[in-house]
Amino acid sequence: MTTAVRRYPVLVALVIAALFMVLPFLIVTMNAVKSPAEYSANGPLSLPDGLYLDGLKDFWERVDFGQKLLNSVLVSGAVAALAVVLSVLNAYAIGIGRIKGRTWVLAFFVLANVLPQEALVYPIYYLSKEAGLYDTRLSVIIVFTVIQAAFGTYLLSAVLGQFPREIIEAARIDGANKWQVLWRIVVPVSRPTIGVLLVFFFIWTWNEFLLPLVMLISNDNQTVSVALGVLQGQRLMDATMTNAAALLGVLPAIVFFLVFQRTLTRGIAVGAVK
């Protein structure tokens, strides 16, 4: 048996490694609440003297952060809901309907899922300009609904493939048609997987960068990710502003993380193995 003497060094090493992982978050938080004067006097590593929130407030107003948050919530929320509906419909046909050629259909969705967005971005940019959808949140919602549904179809088809056939047979004998079976039986029973997908789609869309960067050029339409990425790319921010930006960008992620922690860790496991 391992003795206590041998046990603790491993734990200590792991704790130090974990601290190293969260250290950047701590440093950012520390510096976001320092005044510029304090920052230039004591540098980035000193503990803050007090809470200085004007930097955060200035940044919030300067980039109209509330609008960016709203855009991100709107785009990510709409994508999560629509992509789940699309995934459910696809997976119903593939996993339960077992339509002809389903292996090929599924392979198609898997390949669509790994396709790099670089190979789609210019035509999407061009076509959305032609269609008058360029620089609208709707265009980003449409594109990501489809991209996320590729993964959702792949995952849900595997899950629905294992769905107990007896339940469906019983409902059919009772006279339920396919729509009723889908919405009253399959969807409620698959709620855990659907919940995982909703959370994943929301966070993935929230974090997306390339396509929103290309598609959303006006300030009023940009998401949090794009707005912060563009600001950083312009190299116009001073230290206080950078930290304010970083903290405001980190906070929603931490909130999602705390709220959805269980779903996330469980979901990754489900998604990775099948």
Of 145-204, binders to another protein (CB under 8 A) are 145-147, 149-150, 153, 172-180, 182-183, 203
In the complex, minimum distance from the CB of residue 61 to another protein, in angstroms, rounded to a whole number: 19
**Contact code string over 51-90 relative to another protein, x by CB under 8 A:** ----------------------------------xx--xx
Q: Which stretch binds another protein (CB under 8 A): 21-29, 56-64, 159-167, 187-195?
A: 21-29
70 or 253: CB nearest another protein: 253
Site for another protein in 96-115 (CB under 8 A): 96-100, 105, 108-112, 114-115
Amino acid at site 130: E
Among residues 74, 120, 185, 187, the one that binds another protein under rule CB under 8 A: 120
Which of 12, 37, 43, 219 binds another protein (CB under 8 A)? It is 43
Q: Which of 115, 117, 110, 108 is nearest to 140 (CA)?
A: 117
- Tell me the C-alpha distance between 72 and 66, whole Å: 10
| Residue 210: CB minimum distance to another protein, A | 5
Locus of tokens 């709107």: 74
Record the tokens describing residue 189, joined without a space. 């029973």
The least distance separating another protein from the CB of residue 54, rounded to whole angstroms, comes to: 19
Q: Rule CB under 8 A: choose which of 15, 37, 41, 53 binds another protein.
A: 15
Window contacting another protein (CB under 8 A); options: 55-63, 158-166, 190-198, 251-259:
251-259
For 162-180, the DSSP string reads TS-HHHHHHHHHTT--HHH
- In the list 65, 92, 158, 194, the residue contacting another protein (rule: CB under 8 A) is 92
Angle (nearest 5°) at CA 264 between 153 and 213: 70
**Residue 121 near another protein by CB under 8 A:** yes
CB of residue 57 to another protein, shortest distance in Å: 18
Tell me how far, at minimum, the Cβ of 53 lies from another protein, in Å.
19
